[in-house]
Amino acid sequence: MHQIRVHGRGGQGVVTDAELIAISAFEDGKQSQAFPSFGVERTGAPIESFARIDNKPIRIREQIYNPDVLVVLDVSLFKGSDILGDCDKKTQIVINTGKNKDQLGLSLPLKNIYTVNATQIALDIIGKDVANTTTLGAFAKANKLISIQGLEKAIKQKFNEKGKDIVDKNIKAVRQAYK
Amino acid sequence: MQILEGSRAIAYTIKNISPEVISAYPITPQTHIVEDLAQFKADDKADYEYVLAESEFAAASIIAGASSAGSRVYSATSSQGLLLMSEVLFNIAGMRLPIIITCANRGVSAPITIWNDHQDAVTIRDAGWIMFFAENHQESVQQHILAYKIAEKLNLPVMINIDGYILTHSYEPVFIPNASKIKKFLLKKADTNTKLLDPQKPITMGAFASPNYYMEIRQKLHQDIMTSAEVIKNEYEKYIKIFQPKNRDHNNKYKSFDNGLIEYYGPPEPQTILIAKGSVVGTIKEMVDNYKKVGVIKVKVYRPFPEEEIKNIIKKVKNVAVLDKSISLGQEGPLALDVKALKATYELKSKIQGFVVGLGGRDITQKMIKDIISLSQKQSSKNIFICK
């Protein structure tokens, strides 16, 4: 079983990210689960969400304490909260940042750190500061837990009600981040 | 199969069950279930009347009225909302209305909480409703369909409890039976025997009952709830034959015993058994796989209490740990009390230990389950709170 935890702030689409990961994995033919950290929804407050991927049905409901992959949508969270506290040498971390990974000063092996300037890609393509979907393009590339095709299907499914334009722009942004 | 949010899965199921009247109060504490059902109606994808209520008391009253006039009805609520309905819930059961409500289980204020536990549901335990508890999305879909069959067959209301947030807000693969298959499974209107309000043939429902009559009416309600257990078992068997997709348990270490009232998962001769209801059972099953002599009983139907089934499984077991996500303040966890009563009735030798877990959304971890297993083999005292 692979366990993924997403960190960000209220309004950044943290919960949506875990859901997209789970839907993508399901579309890839795997079993999956996603749930939020059940916080009160306040814009700007630190938010966590969780996703699990496995080859067999997932029974466990516990929150994720030792993630295999950590997704960080907002680097300001490294200050003031200990989101890396339960990560170890094996934890992979996918970060939305314009900085190089060696500039971040994180206490994790550099080889496990993947960065993507998802905010910039989102601003360029979607025209809004919504880095959540774009970051998942880099996520798919970094660990192959989900396929880019699965992710595109998930975006179509999840954003269908928002219209074709939003779906297309998000898929374009995700492909850009996957490169 | 599709992957859906729990609330959406229930909303689709209800849509396919085709109720005629839905009423709900849409503000906190509420879930996406009624939001989705309102959207289906707004999008012209559903035929039911959707009545926006001014409170949960009104929502329950509106569906009570519609049900009295012969409509298939639905509502969903949670925590404070369920408690605000409580007076009407007793009336619904007393009037023998086949009403279905989903309770997205959450804690009760104060202090203010929006998070999951079972305090809301156990607080109205004695209202006269059949009470289901679901472990996962698939089971909640199944229990909603079963609920309508049982309610309309027996003229008893059924409440389906699903853990707030943990199930209502989570995504997982689920299969939703289609409307025509559900229609075939449920009773035809002509086959139901509800006494209806009809201007041509006026009757009084929920009338005044003097001391000469009240007690027998209550006794009858109790007996009918008790005997509903057999109907639930039979309908569950039929349901599995018709609807169940390929066995979800095919990768599990043990094969489950499940009769619709309870599920037992674990070795054939366990020394320790955990008893719980709702989504936490998933986490417990995960832990059971790590032990040789530990099993878990999932209480799927809480009222009527599946005494016989639980007794048969725990009678030879040394240690029984009962997990409650609620407490009868000043006494113990309500489920633990039920199991202790059963021990006394049947003079069982098993040691029963109650544990209070997961109040107000406290995450129930694998470590806690491990601690409960070892504590149940050692101490013996009332109410151990497992806070971390």
Judge contact between A73 and A9, C-beta under 8 A.
Answer: yes
Q: Which residue of A has its CA nearest to B4?
A: A23
At A125-176, the pLDDT tens digits run 999 999 999 999 999 999 999 999 999 999 999 999 899 999 999 999 999 9
What does each C-alpha distance from B244 to A79, B99, B186, B373 come to in angstroms? 49, 24, 16, 32
Q: Which residue of A has its CA nearest to B287?
A: A60
- B-proximal residues of A, 37-56, CB under 8 Å: 38, 40, 55-56
Judge contact between B151 and B100, C-beta under 8 A.
Answer: yes
Q: Which residue of A has its CA nearest to B114?
A: A40
At A18-76, the pLDDT tens digits run 999 999 999 999 999 999 986 666 888 899 999 999 999 999 999 999 999 999 999 99
Q: Same fold for the domain at B2-242 and the one at B256-386? A: yes
In chain A, where are the structural domains located?
A: 2-178
Residue contact A26–B3, C-beta within 8 A: yes
HEC profile of chain B: CEEEEHHHHHHHHHHHHCCCEEEECCCCCCCHHHHHHHHHHHCCCCCCEEEECCCHHHHHHHHHHHHHCCCCEEEEECHHHHHHHHHHHHHHHHCCCCCEEEEEECCCCCCCCCCCCCHHHHHCHHHCCEEEECCCHHHHHHHHHHHHHHHHHHCCCEEEEEECCCCCCCEEEECCCCHHHHHHHCCCHHHCCCCCCCCCCCCCCCCCCCCCCHHHHHHHHHHHHHHHHHHHHHHHHHHHHHHCCCCHHHHCCCCCEECCCEEEECCCCCCEEEEECCCHHHHHHHHHCCCCCEEEEEECEEECCCHHHHHHHHCCCCEEEEEECCCCCCCCCHHHHHHHHHHHHHCCCCEEEEEEECHHHCCCCHHHHHHHHHHHHHCCCCCEEECC
pLDDT per residue of chain B (388 residues) written in tens, 0 to 9: 999 999 999 999 999 999 999 999 988 778 899 999 999 999 999 999 999 999 999 999 999 999 999 999 999 999 999 999 999 999 999 999 999 999 999 999 999 999 999 999 999 999 999 999 999 999 999 999 999 999 999 999 999 999 999 999 999 999 999 999 999 999 998 888 777 899 999 999 999 999 999 999 999 999 999 999 999 999 999 999 999 755 555 678 999 999 999 999 999 999 999 999 999 999 999 999 999 999 999 999 999 999 999 999 999 999 999 999 999 999 999 999 999 999 999 999 999 999 999 999 999 999 999 999 999 988 677 789 999 9
Domain B256-386 fold = Rossmann fold (3.40.50)
At A105-128, the pLDDT tens digits run 898 999 999 999 999 999 999 999
Judge contact between B276 and B333, C-beta under 8 A.
Answer: no
N-term to C-term CA, chain A:
27
Q: What pLDDT score was predicted for residue B157?
A: 98
Q: Which residues of B touch chain A, with CB atoms under 8 Å apart?
A: 3, 5, 114-116, 136, 165-166, 169-173, 248-251, 279-280, 282-283, 285-286, 361, 363-366
How close, in Å, is residue A124 to chain B by CA atoms? Answer: 31
Between CA B144 and CA B102 the distance in angstroms is 8
Of A33, A40, A65, nearest to B170 by CB-CB distance is A33
Q: Which residue of A has its CA nearest to B116?
A: A38
How close, in Å, is residue B116 to chain A by CA atoms? Answer: 9
DSSP string for chain A: -EEEEEEEETTS-HHHHHHHHHHHHHHTT-EEEEEE------TTSEEEEEEEEESS-----SPPSS-SEEEES-GGGGTTS-TTTT--TT-EEEEE-SS-GGGS--SS-GGGEEEE-HHHHHHHHTSSS--HHHHHHHHHHHH-SS-HHHHHHHHHHHHGGG-HHHHHHHHHHHHHHH-
How close, in Å, is residue A2 to chain B by CA atoms? Answer: 15
Residue contact B114–A40, C-beta within 8 A: yes
Of B173, B286, B364, nearest to A26 by CB-CB distance is B173
Mutate to test the interface with A, among B43, B171, B251, B298 (most CBs of A within 10 A): B171
Closest by CA to B362, choosing from A62, A160, A52, is A62
Residue contact B115–A38, C-beta within 8 A: yes
How close, in Å, is residue B284 to chain A by CA atoms? Answer: 8
A60: contact with B, CB 8 A cutoff? yes
How close, in Å, is residue A63 to chain B by CA atoms? Answer: 7
In chain B, where are the structural domains located?
A: 2-242, 256-386
Between CA A66 and CA A88 the distance in angstroms is 8
Mutate to test the interface with B, among A30, A61, A63 (most CBs of B within 10 A): A61
Q: Which residue of A has its CA nearest to B361?
A: A38
As assigned by CATH, the class of the B2-242 domain is alpha beta
A28: contact with B, CB 8 A cutoff? no
Judge contact between B274 and B131, C-beta under 8 A.
Answer: no
Residue contact A38–B248, C-beta within 8 A: no
Rg (CA), chain B: 20
Residue environment code for A93-113, b if the CB has 16+ CB neighbours within 10 A, otherwise e? bbbbbeeebeebebebeeebb
Q: Which two tokens stand for residue A26?
A: 């399901």
Residue environment code for B282-321, b if the CB has 16+ CB neighbours within 10 A, otherwise e? bbbbbbbeeeebbbbbbbbbbbbbbbebbbebbeebebbb
- B-proximal residues of A, 63-102, CB under 8 Å: 63, 65
Mutate to test the interface with B, among A47, A62, A160 (most CBs of B within 10 A): A62
Q: What pLDDT score was predicted for residue B360?
A: 96
Q: What's domain A2-178's superfamily in CATH?
A: Pyruvate-ferredoxin oxidoreductase, PFOR, domain III (3.40.920.10)
Of A32, A36, A62, nearest to B363 by CB-CB distance is A62
Between CA B236 and CA A9 the distance in angstroms is 44
Q: Which residue of B has its CA nearest to A18?
A: B171
Judge contact between B314 and B266, C-beta under 8 A.
Answer: no
The total number of residues written for chain B in this structure: 388
Q: What is the ipTM of this complex?
A: 0.96
Of A23, A26, A38, nearest to B165 by CB-CB distance is A38
Residue contact A36–B169, C-beta within 8 A: yes
Q: Which two tokens stand for residue B152?
A: 């309309």
How close, in Å, is residue A122 to chain B by CA atoms? Answer: 25
Q: What pLDDT score was predicted for residue A39?
A: 67
Of A22, A35, A40, nearest to B169 by CB-CB distance is A35
Between CA B15 and CA A171 the distance in angstroms is 31
- In this predicted structure, the answer to whether residue A81 has a pLDDT above a threshold of 90 is no
Residue contact A62–B364, C-beta within 8 A: yes
Residue contact B3–A32, C-beta within 8 A: yes
Q: Which residue of A has its CA nearest to B28?
A: A40
